[in-house]
């Protein structure tokens, strides 16, 4: 039969003491007099358990107080109830009631600490303030400036990708954006991030990507480079008309490697490599599209009024085309009238 070495009571013992003597002579938790909670002055994130996190002030105070709590080896914290009281805007008193388990024992202890709010600058904001970047994405048009709508769409896609990356790694960020003649430059904190975004933009817009690197310095005996990715969009956009083999072709769609055209004379579809269309010349843009009044329509042809000479002109219809309304879209190129195979204005990307 075991007995308590302090009071002599027989029965279950804990470290040679009965339960009463054991609990009376041992404490299982200890809170420091104060805990410093660091908050970035710029992004307002808190440093908790070595990581920077975005959350509410009271939640951060509770986590900081809980993290500062020391627990005796062999004891487990079952739950913690806290009350937070503001002493002043930089100091908060925290009362903690800690539920504990030790072997088959259950107990509760009270602790008190003060969480002191400290301003600092996190490493990410420090880099941003210092204009730190590892890579540049340069977005340009080929032989044309990007439209405001194009720039806005591409910027939104780029920023969305950076935000997705930040959800996994807060060190992914855009340092700055610069408008330049014909496009813009985005300065990014990561080469791998910039490379992934550049190639995704190229796939989406049928662009080409060129990569170049510049030696910046050496770190621990290794060369450190900055990498620039030039994303050059094609000279044409969907819904525009380009010359191919001397004849006007409508740009129907653009993918990462190919462009679908439609011959405006025969209305036959043509698939072309983007590389082969690199020097394609745009002969008609959105503002060049005209409307022609439909005079009559048969299965294979339309009779329309020329929008400038007002003469009657017969136009061959593409397969499956039907005029909708009293007019159709047409294009005049080198004095010849062409029917555009859509019933309304094209969507220009």
pLDDT tens for residues 34-67? Answer: 999 999 999 999 999 989 999 999 999 999 999 9
Give the helix ranges, DSSP H, for 37-98.
Answer: 57-68
Task: State the pLDDT at residue 81.
Answer: 94
- On the question of pLDDT at 343 being above 70, the answer is no
Q: Tell me the CATH number of domain 23-122, given options 3.40.50, 3.10.450, 3.40.5, 3.30.230.
A: 3.10.450
Q: Are 264 and 339 in contact (CB under 8 A)?
A: yes
Assigned token pair, 299: 């299965």
The DSSP code sequence of 60-71 is HHHHHHHHH-EE
The domain segmentation of the chain, as residue ranges, is 23-122, 131-233, 241-339
Q: Are 181 and 199 in contact (CB under 8 A)?
A: no
- On the question of pLDDT at 215 being above 60, the answer is yes
Report helix, strand or coil for 211: strand
List CB contacts of 228: < 8 A, sequence separation 6 or more. 135, 136, 137, 138, 211, 212, 213, 214
pLDDT band at 342 (very low <50, low <70, confident <90, very high): low
Q: Please name which of 93, 65, 60 lies closest in space to residue 80, comparing C-alpha atoms.
A: 65
Which of the given ranges, 58-67, 223-232, 275-284, 286-295, has the highest pLDDT on average?
A: 58-67
């Amino acid at each position: 039969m075991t007995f308590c070495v302090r009071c002599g009571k027989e029965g279950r013992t804990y470290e040679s003491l009965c339960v009463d003597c054991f609990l009376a002579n041992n404490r299982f938790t200890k809170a420091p007099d104060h805990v410093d909670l660091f908050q970035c002055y710029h992004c307002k994130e808190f440093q908790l358990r070595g990581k920077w996190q975005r959350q509410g002030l009271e939640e951060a105070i509770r986590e900081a107080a809980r993290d500062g709590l020391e627990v005796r080896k062999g004891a487990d914290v079952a739950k913690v109830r806290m009350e937070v009281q503001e002493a002043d805007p930089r100091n908060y008193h925290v009362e903690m009631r800690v539920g504990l388990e030790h072997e088959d024992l259950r107990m509760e202890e009270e602790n008190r600490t003060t969480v002191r709010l400290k301003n600092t600058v996190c490493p990410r904001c420090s880099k941003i303030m210092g204009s730190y970047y590892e890579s540049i994405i340069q977005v340009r048009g080929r032989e044309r400036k990007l439209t405001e709508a194009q720039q806005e769409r591409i910027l939104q896609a780029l920023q969305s990708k950076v935000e997705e990356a930040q959800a996994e790694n807060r060190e992914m960020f855009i340092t700055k954006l610069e408008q330049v003649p014909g496009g813009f430059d985005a300065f990014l904190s990561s080469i791998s991030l910039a490379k992934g975004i550049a190639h995704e933009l190229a796939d989406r817009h049928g662009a080409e990507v060129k990569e170049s690197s510049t030696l910046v310095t050496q770190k621990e005996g290794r060369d450190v480079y900055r990498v620039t990715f030039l994303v050059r969009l094609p000279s044409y956009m969907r819904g525009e008309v380009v010359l191919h083999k001397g004849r006007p072709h409508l740009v129907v769609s653009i993918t990462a490697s190919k462009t679908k055209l439609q011959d405006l004379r025969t209305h036959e579809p043509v698939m072309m490599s983007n590389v082969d269309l690199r020097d394609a010349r745009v002969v008609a843009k959105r503002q060049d599209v005209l409307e022609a009044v439909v005079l009559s329509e048969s299965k294979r042809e339309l009779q329309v009024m020329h929008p400038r000479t007002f003469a009657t002109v017969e136009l061959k219809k593409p397969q499956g085309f039907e005029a909708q309304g009293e007019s159709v879209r047409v294009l005049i190129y080198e004095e010849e009238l062409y029917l555009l195979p859509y019933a309304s204005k094209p969507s220009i990307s």
